[in-house]
């Protein structure tokens, strides 16, 4: 066997083909497969039309070429042909609209959902609120910084992994109410065939019913600022029993957190915890070393606020500063997290104020 | 004799309307033969075309509406 042939064979083997998948995803829900089938139907109609039209065109160009003595006809119009090529495409378009309407109506039918989840886009993270349960959390990118700055090798889920995944039950109709807090984002999970714009002040609806438990990944797909590429979507589909267990765990965790907020922590504990919070929630703007980005995000090192009165420092983190990228963190961070990050900023990143604040003193 | 003249007149009137409607339909799809265009511009009456145009627009809207209803029925 020649080298070229072997190469061609290996290119055609399945793993190589999988890497080169160009077609749309079939997805993992009945609806996503319906959309895929519609896509293929329209695709093949287009292929047939394309082959026919270009076939006739290239044949005519070749058959009646000048070198063979072809002479151009001089006529002005042919109403029959013109009507034919206007009416036939209209009929094809209308015929294609029939299955498309059927699929669209399925997609928009968000009625009778078993679980309602509000999804809110933030710069640059997602917030998931379970409307029937008292569950509300943020989902941040969890890819380590070293991988992003090429200091270590990238894992297979590079930039497609989060600290808290959205958890939904399998075989239940889950309705998503999608909106945004600051700018337009878009929530996209290819395997669900769900891509919904998240627009401040609007609520867009979508739904899924996933059959198989598993982990499905997606991204924000509306350019939304500096870290647009760093706010992935991860959805964990659990069996019904596992989902119930998860809901119970979430509630227990919430109680534990309230309990923790009433306890006092040592300065070292606060700083250690605060570093984690800072790297996850603040370093995107204020930078991991606290130097900020001049002109856009102020430095924390030597900042008048971070080294000044502690109340003003707490206030800007809890309530944000209206009209700037400095958002209110009172809903995203627990009292413990806020106390920790305040203490961290005052006593690390080159600052040495020496004071601290306890979670119980954080007024949200 | 009288009756015959009326007949010719009314059949002429029908012809004018039919021609105008055909021309309006042709304009909807953007296809018209040169002969018909010249005939319309030489003998046609403006008001007839306006009325025929409005009429056909209404029919077009109704048929789109009807088509959508039909598809929705088929879909559900
Ligand atoms: Cu975004």
Higher pLDDT, A74 or A180: A180
What is the average pLDDT score of chain A?
Answer: 90
Q: pLDDT tens-digit profile of A253-307?
A: 888 888 877 888 899 999 999 999 998 889 989 999 999 999 889 999 999 999 9
Residue A204 has pLDDT above 60, yes or no: yes
CA A38 to chain centre: 24
CATH code, domain with A283 = 1.10.760.10
The domain boundary, picked from A258, A285, A313, lies at A258
Phi, psi of A136 (to 5 degrees): -155, 115
- Does residue A133 fall inside a structural domain? yes
Q: What is the domain range of residue A179?
A: 115-258
CATH code, domain with A180 = 2.60.40.420
* Rama region for A264: left / alpha / beta (φ>0; ψ in -120 to 50; rest): beta
**Number of domains, chain A:** 3
CB A195 within 8 A of CB A91: no
Using a CB–CB cutoff of 8 Å, tell me whether A111 touches chain B: no
Q: pLDDT tens-digit profile of A217-241?
A: 999 999 999 899 999 999 999 999 9
Q: pLDDT tens-digit profile of A103-151?
A: 998 999 998 999 999 999 998 999 999 998 889 999 999 998 889 989 9
In angstroms, the separation between the Cα of residue A77 and the nearest Cα of chain B is: 7
Residue B1 has pLDDT above 70, yes or no: no
CB A107 within 8 A of CB A34: no
pLDDT of residue A1: 41
Whether residues A268 and A249 fall in one domain: no
Residue A184 has pLDDT above 70, yes or no: yes
Q: Where are the domains of chain B?
A: 2-75
Q: pLDDT tens-digit profile of B31-69?
A: 888 888 888 888 878 899 999 999 999 999 999 999 888
- C-alpha span between A134 and A256 (Å, rounded): 14
Using a CB–CB cutoff of 8 Å, tell me whether A84 touches chain B: no
Inter-chain CB proximity B29 and A105 less than 8 Å: no
- Model ipTM value: 0.74
Q: For B27, which residue in chain A has the nearest alpha carbon? A: A83
Using a CB–CB cutoff of 8 Å, tell me whether B72 touches chain A: yes
Q: pLDDT tens-digit profile of A5-15?
A: 554 544 455 45
Residues of chain B positioned with their CB less than 8 A from the CB of A79: 31-33
pLDDT of residue A19: 66
| pLDDT-derived band at B3, boundaries 50, 70, 90 | low
In angstroms, the separation between the Cα of residue B9 and the nearest Cα of chain A is: 30
Question: What share of chain A has pLDDT > 90, as a percent?
Answer: 66
| pLDDT-derived band at A314, boundaries 50, 70, 90 | very high
Whether residues A88 and A165 fall in one domain: no
Task: Tell which of B23, B30, B31 to mutate to test the A interface (max A CBs under 10 Å).
Answer: B31
| pLDDT-derived band at B10, boundaries 50, 70, 90 | confident
- Does residue A234 fall inside a structural domain? yes
Whether residues A159 and A231 fall in one domain: yes
Whether residues A226 and A295 fall in one domain: no
Whether residues A97 and A123 fall in one domain: no
Contacts of A10 by beta carbon, 8 Å cutoff, 6+ apart: A16
**Whole-structure pTM value:** 0.72
Give A221 Cα–ligand 1 centroid separation in angstroms.
7
CB A244 within 8 A of CB A341: no
Whether residues A242 and A221 fall in one domain: yes
- Does residue A9 fall inside a structural domain? no
């Amino acid at each position: 066997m020649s080298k070229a042939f072997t190469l061609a064979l290996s290119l055609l083997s399945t793993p190589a083909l999988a890497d080169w998948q160009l077609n749309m995803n079939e997805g993992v829900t009945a609806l996503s497969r319906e959309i895929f089938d519609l896509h293929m139907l329209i695709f093949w109609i287009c292929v047939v039309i394309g082959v026919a039209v270009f076939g006739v065109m290239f044949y005519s160009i070749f058959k009646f070429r000048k070198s063979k003595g072809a002479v151009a006809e001089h006529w002005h119009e042919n109403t029959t042909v013109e009507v034919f090529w206007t009416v036939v495409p209209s009929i094809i378009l209308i015929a294609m609209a029939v299955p498309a309407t059927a699929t669209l109506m399925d997609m928009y039918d968000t009625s009778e959902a078993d679980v309602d989840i509000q999804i809110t886009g933030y710069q640059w993270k997602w917030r998931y609120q379970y409307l029937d349960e008292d569950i509300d959390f943020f989902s941040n990118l969890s890819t380590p910084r070293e991988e992003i700055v090429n200091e270590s090798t990238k894992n297979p889920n590079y930039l497609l992994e989060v600290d808290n995944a959205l958890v939904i039950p399998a075989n239940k109709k889950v309705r998503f109410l999608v909106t945004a807090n600051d700018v337009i984002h878009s929530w996209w999970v290819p395997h669900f065939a769900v891509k919904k714009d998240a627009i401040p002040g609007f609520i867009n609806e979508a739904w899924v019913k996933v059959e198989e438990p598993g982990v499905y990944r997606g991204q924000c797909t509306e350019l939304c600022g500096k870290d647009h590429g760093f706010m992935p979507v991860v959805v964990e589909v659990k069996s019904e029993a596992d989902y119930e267990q998860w809901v119970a765990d979430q509630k227990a965790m919430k109680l534990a957190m309230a309990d923790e907020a009433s306890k006092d922590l040592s300065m070292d504990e606060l700083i250690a915890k605060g570093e984690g919070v800072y790297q996850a929630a603040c370093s995107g703007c204020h930078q991991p070393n606290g130097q900020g980005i001049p002109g856009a995000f102020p430095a924390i090192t030597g900042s008048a606020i971070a080294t000044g009165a502690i109340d003003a420092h707490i206030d800007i983190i809890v309530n944000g500063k209206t009209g700037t990228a400095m958002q209110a963190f009172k809903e995203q961070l627990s009292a413990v997290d806020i106390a920790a990050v305040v203490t961290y900023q005052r006593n690390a990143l080159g600052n040495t104020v020496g004071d601290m604040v306890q979670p119980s003193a954080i007024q949200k | 004799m009288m009756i015959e003249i009326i007949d010719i007149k009314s059949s002429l009137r029908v012809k004018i309307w039919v021609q105008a409607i055909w021309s309006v339909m042709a304009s909807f799809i953007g296809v018209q033969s040169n002969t018909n265009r010249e005939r319309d511009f030489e003998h046609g009456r403006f008001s007839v075309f306006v009325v025929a145009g409005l009429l056909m627009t209404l029919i077009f809207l109704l048929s789109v509406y009807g088509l959508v209803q039909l598809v929705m029925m088929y879909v559900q």
